[in-house]
Amino acid sequence: MLALVLGAQTPAVDKGVAMLKSFYTAYILLSSGEITDLEASEAKLVALRRKYCTPACLKQFQKLVEDTIGDPIIQAQDSYKAHTKTLVIKKIQRSPTVMQCLILILKAHIKRPPFT
């Protein structure tokens, strides 16, 4: 699991939550496979990770990808566009200067097509 901690002053908390919502929404849509140009989707995913993740986070991401069979950012092998509807980001204020967020991608409500 990758932990994202944003160094933000209390008034910027809502901006941090909005940024995380934007990141995860874009990431889920691009990794869903619903965009037919998979090469372009992968390039956009790489760009998103570079824009939002620290170098240490990117290094950890690469190690986790090598060690597991899933994407550590979404903690799954697959994602679906419908996951964006169940995406929940909760702010957890533990100190006046640091904001931490709990990010939940609730997948239990997704109907998957039957296997044939």
> H or E element: which one contains 27?
helix 13-31
Kindly report the pTM of this predicted structure.
0.68
Give the mean pLDDT per block of 10 residues along the chain (116 residues).
Answer: 46 72 89 82 90 87 84 78 82 68 54 51
**pLDDT of res. 105:** 59
Q: Is 80 exposed, middle or buried (0-12, 13-18, 19+ CB in 10 A)?
A: buried
**pLDDT of res. 109:** 43
**pLDDT of res. 3:** 46
**pLDDT of res. 44:** 92
CATH hierarchy code of domain 5-105: 3.10.450.50
Could you give the count of Cα atoms lying within 13 Å of 75 in the half-sphere of its Cβ? 9
